[in-house]
Chains A and B, each alone.
Chain A
Amino acid sequence: MEQVGEVTFHSIGSTSVWIVMIAYFAVVMLFGSYFGRYTRSTTDFFFGGRRFSWWLITMSIVATGVGSHSFVKYSAKGFEHGLSSTMTYINDWFFVPFFLFGWLPIVVYSKVRSIPEYFEKRFSPSSRFIATMLLLLYMIGYIGIGFLTLGKAMIPLLPPEMFGLPVTLMSVIIVIAVITGAYITFGGQTAVIFTDLLQGFILLFAGLLLFAVGIGYLGGFQTFWDLLPMSWRMPLANFNSPPDFNFAGIFWQDGIAGSIGFLFMNQGLLMRFMACKSVNEGRKAAAINILFVLPISAIVVGNAGWLGKAVSVASPDIVNPASSPDQIFVVVANIILNNPIIFGFVMAALTAALMSTVDTLINATSAIFVNDVYRPIKGFVSKKIASKKDTEKRELGVARIASIGITTLGVLAVIPFDSFPTVYEAHGYFHSTLTPPLVVAIFLGVFWKKFTPAAVITTFLGGVALMLLGAKYPGVLIAPFDHGIQLNPDHPYTYIRALYNIIVCATVAVLAAWTTGLQHKFVRWVRHLPNTSMIMAVLTSLLSIIYTVVIASFFVNFGTVSSIFVLIAISIVLVPLVVSYYVVGYDVETHTKGLVASSIQDARRFFKGSEPNDREGQKVEVHYKLDDSTDDMIRFSKNDMKAMEAEPGDLVYLCDKRKYLGGLKSIHSVYGEAHDEDGIVYINTDQLKSGIFVEGKTLIAEKEL
């Protein structure tokens, strides 16, 4: 192993390590392709056919949460600050009531496929457009963080020079970006779920293996504990210092903005929950994940840093206390595991999960681009109706080009993120800056019926403008909320800015929603004037000028904080007036039905197509027989229907009894008219193919709704 300078490392990876890594990649891809055969429709492709059990989804979520960038960033903070690196994994419970009984049932029952789609249904197409732009920025930023982490994880394995060229972070990231493009996700969501399931188990195993071997290496847990200084054993960081890792800032950035962002905005996570067989099963998956899996994950992702610190205290010659924090995971894993095959396996698990996450994000971002940008623009520009085949072919081409563009933007996003000392701080800054407007908009949209399209657009525009002003003058605007955290001039208020950003967005949102009556009065008044169109055109132009000035003032030094603030305040008054004038046809009752927490019953009615049947019945065991029906109904005996408390027309879930399959062999259907053969369900050949049921195997049926 060659140590370059004092803190960075190169050439840790031997040939055996690379062989193990390549073999691992091949096995994971083959595993994914095997489960690709369970994909039979677009619903299967994107949502896994809504069939899986909670435990399967819980484990597959591990790779989404742990696999992304966690090993590198939490090991870094574990090495710098100790066990308090776990706090971001153990502060997600506060928003669970909102998620389990607000957002999750709405997303499933209203059948929205993406967050922008929710914005269109709940508000207006213009809200969808702005939400799409913000979401694309968020996802491209996330891809950038993924690339940065991959680059930092790979650099220590590579020599300082290859083919006569220096190995730099950016060159490694560009090569990774090309390979990521080729790392195809086989077969859609079912394959992704099973690949992530495998990777989830492996990641947990690899992390716990490292911890167990590391504890043995140090001489036992008590020795490890005693080696750590007292402040390093604390589960929560110091309240307000140092600026790069403090409790108050991280609570608002991660516990609040991050938790809502992760639960409410993460399209990949939402798609996992939508793949659960029912809303209740999704609730179980989320609750078990947060209660049990995340605390274990916190140990898995951070322990390399803690072990590194303990070894550096005991033997500074083995782990240099000044080692680069972002490289500590690779350095400690190499020292402690001390075996190229096991080390190669751990590194392969880490990089494969990272690549899988980045790849999923690129696919999801490209899907959002096609669905929420290309299609609306295409529909607006050309009214020509093409055949389905031609449309799909063209959209596939657009998706491919979009993927290349998104990957390029993701690579470019690495440049600003790399200016931060660690990935953790880059990610913290990114989260506290980009999530608040969307988080506030989604949250108020779901829980506040009076939140209007005018209010949501004002939140996006006015909120972002005030956030820019805060970023420009942090010492004036963010300082009142800093909880005593010192301002670091290089990266001012990396985390606590989330509190300022949430407060300004929420304040703008509430003010705009509370003044809805006044906005409508203005619109009614202006419509009666002879020169309405001209007045509105002037107001719209004025708004454009104001926002141009605000954005320019962020990049170029002119104006004072008060003058720019006054301009933004004027825009916050004008935006809802202009939006209220142009957005016509918004009706509170229609646009909130089934889309806010207070109308979940409407959402359930919409999902079923009739009144839900909430009588609690039992599960019944049945065997299937084929009939030649062509409808989407399945038929049970009268006694079985009675045991399930089911009526014809209710929704039913039919699944192979073997629990370890996790719902892989199952279907959703509708109860048909009853027959007299107890223990028999009649299904048709399409349902047999979709459920992949095996003749002679017992099935379990339960009423869904």
Chain B
Amino acid sequence: MASQTVANAVEVRDLTVWLNGQTVLEEVTFDIPTGAFAGIVGPNGAGKTTLLKVLLGLVRTYEGSILVFGTPPARLGAQRHKIGYVPQRPNFDRSFPARVLDVVMMGRVSCRGLGRRFTPADREAALESLAMVGALELKDRPIGELSGGQQQRVFLARALCSHTQLLLLDEPNTGLDLPSQNQFYELLDTLRRENSLTIMVVSHDLAMVSRYADRILCINKRVHVHGSPSEVLESPLLDQVYGCEFEQIASRGVVIAGGSH
């Protein structure tokens, strides 16, 4: 992984995104420094998932400037493997006849190259990835037979196995109970520290994200607040993002922040 380190893993300037004729994001500007753990929070329909999809190059109807490791997403080319993505609910058929190891190896497709066969090194990288997320014992299980939490780990391993430097996660805790959510965030934090990862997590749970992230981006079409968790939790601008839900979120955030630090 001997690549030059850029100060900001992600740089977004005046980003406006349209989907089906609707403005989903408007004049969004922010930076995510390399090595940061960033939480992107906001209510439903705020454009959080769209923001990730723009960074991944999946949505291209936008204006403004986006740089991922200093390059626009559409021009990442062979560097694309540096970005790992864990979707909210992977869109696969549970009866798909694939084992866990097969699914993780699919994450190696981008770094192996078009039309080239997998090598033993790909298998080793996939196994290593599974070990990193504590799911090595699942390697031979059919993917459809795993629980939601186990599947989440497998898809995290899939996102990590291609020399990933930027990890994008969309609501990774959907359907998980509270202890599993905490374990998952602990795991992300450990992975970030041990592997010099930059992490961006989309969530609508400000309280949970605040415990682990070192910066929070609060969006509702526009960026309303951007800063450290304490700055964001204390910001009166949160009203604009969450409206009437603010009281509840702030109190949960304070309680949890007080309890954990």
State yes or no: do A and B come from one complex: no
